[in-house]
Amino acid sequence: MSRILHRSLRNEPLLAVSGRGLMVHGRTMGGATGEPVIDASGGAAVACLGHGDERVVEAITAQARQIAYAHTVFFTCQAAEDLAELLVGHAPGGLTHAYFVSSGSEAMEAALKLARQYFLEVGQPSRHRFIARRQSYHGNTLGALGLGGNFARREPYAPILADCFSHVSPCFAYRFQDEGESDADYVARLAAELEAEFQRLGPQNVAAFVAEPIVGATAGCVTALPGYFPAMRAVCDRHGALLILDEVMCGMGRSGTLHAWEQEGVSPDIQTIAKGLGGGYQPIGAILAQGRIVEALAAGSGAFKHGHTYQAHPVACAAALAVQRIIRDDNLLANVQAMGARLEAALQDRFGNHAHVGDIRGRGLFWALEFVEDRGSRKTFAPERKVNEAVKDAAMAAGVMIYPMGGTIDGRQGDHVIVAPPYIARPDDIDAIVERLGRAVDSVLG
């Protein structure tokens, strides 16, 4: 009997035994060995280099031998300094400083605190409100959960969430663009909604608007229409608020560029990153911040009033540094673009006319299928059917791991699965993933 408080208290999980490349081997807790499966989701879009890259293992080992832990009250470490230089030494989009934590949720908490402190430092203490979007996800700590718009996850904890967060509509064309409404008109409507929320709260009270450039697990790889983020940026700029972009899931190469915002025509004031930063080899996340924000703190109190025991952990930073160097030196972004195009084409070919696949969406190596009971009306399956979980289970039986989620539309209605293979995927990997996923979907939905 396992003494771990697992995600499910009713179903015994498989025990992961080993992983190499895209393949993961597991067995039951009772000892029965299963067939290897293709990791076509990187766990939760984490394992960007796949499994067992010896270069990362060597970097972790070397750092642990040198020094495994150094508290940031006393020391910095070379791995953290080198990682920051690699990420922001060239000031991408004006981002000049990095702050390393241990998860995406921690990164979002740090981003909220940094935004709040920035406005205190520049003499605007009334700015304490944050606007995010429905069907967003920004983490599971209480602050990040309150900010996010995943209402199914928020609901049990609503009484203990802060009231400084509010939500506007997402840019989710498949579900919420009106019939006959042009893309430009839809974007204008969403910009007007954000403007109205600023006015309702009082523009002088708003610290930031927060959004995922590509909505991840909650809605399933939802990309914004052209012009959406510049329109949101314009509203923020008009009222002196910050733009915080959450790239925990969609960033660090997942979308085909190192930062997803590079494809949106904007750059953030603060950015959060995590999953693809360390590729799962160590727990790590980060915020990247504009120089003017850090300069305001330096000229004022002289410190960021926030901290964690394991921030800028030497071994975690060494692992992330190795991962990022491999992405750069092996030119993996080009492979993400090429394999992403192949994956898109294969998904469209296999599921484009499927009676129960309503939408195929994504970018780079970050794609989702949204399932519907009826394509014409876009009617969803009854939530009780848990179609996404059934497809996940069938996919595992077919030898491929994909990432499932329900509540796609409103936290209750809708099902989707995410396909997010490692950046090292080759053409035959993509073909095998789609073929096996096809068998799984057909077995569940016909």
pLDDT in tens, 86-112: 999 999 999 999 999 999 999 999 999
Residue 126 has pLDDT above 90, yes or no: yes
- Provide the mean pLDDT of the chain: 97
* Angle, vertex CA 147, rays to CA 73 and CA 235, nearest 5: 105
**Mean pLDDT score, 15-38:** 90
Going across the sheet that includes 242-246, the strands are 95-101, 285-290, 270-273, 242-246, 206-211, 129-133, 165-168
Phi/psi at 211 (5° precision): -155, 155
Structure tokens at 62: 């070397």
Distance in angstroms (rounded) separating the CA atoms of residues 317 and 79 = 5
User: pLDDT confidence of 124, banded at 50, 70, 90?
Assistant: very high
- Alpha carbons within 13 A on the beta-carbon side of 271: 31
Residue 1 has pLDDT above 80, yes or no: no
Instruction: Residue 198: name the closest of 228, 241, 147 by CA.
Output: 241
- pLDDT value at residue 34: 80
User: What pLDDT digit, counting tens, does each position of 249-280 carry?
Assistant: 999 999 999 999 999 999 999 999 999 999 99
Residue 292 has pLDDT above 80, yes or no: yes
Residue 12 has pLDDT above 90, yes or no: no
CB atoms within 10 A of CB 142: 14
CB 417 within 8 A of CB 368: yes
% the chain with pLDDT above 90: 93
User: pLDDT confidence of 30, banded at 50, 70, 90?
Assistant: confident
**Mean pLDDT score, 114-118:** 98
Strand, helix or coil for residue 110: helix
Look at phi and psi of residue 135 and say left if phi exceeds 0, alpha if psi is from -120 to 50, else beta: left
Question: Rounded to two decimals, what is the model's pTM?
Answer: 0.97
Distance in angstroms (rounded) separating the CA atoms of residues 364 and 337 = 5
Instruction: Residue 249: name the closest of 427, 415, 105 by CA.
Output: 105
Residues counted in the chain: 446
Residue 440 has pLDDT above 90, yes or no: yes
CB 421 within 8 A of CB 365: yes
Check the CA dihedral 423-429-432-434 and report its sign.
positive
Residues 6+ away with beta carbon under 8 Å from 320: 83, 100, 277, 278, 279, 281, 282, 284
Residue 167 has pLDDT above 80, yes or no: yes
- pLDDT value at residue 398: 97
CB 100 within 8 A of CB 284: yes
User: pLDDT confidence of 9, banded at 50, 70, 90?
Assistant: confident
- pLDDT value at residue 163: 96
Lowest mean pLDDT segment, chosen from 144-158, 224-238, 336-350, 414-428: 144-158
Residue type, 190: L
Residue labelled with tokens 């699965």: 417
**Mean pLDDT score, 320-327:** 98
CB 435 within 8 A of CB 345: no
- pLDDT value at residue 263: 98
User: What pLDDT digit, counting tens, does each position of 351-399 carry?
Assistant: 999 999 999 999 999 999 999 999 999 999 999 999 999 999 999 999 9
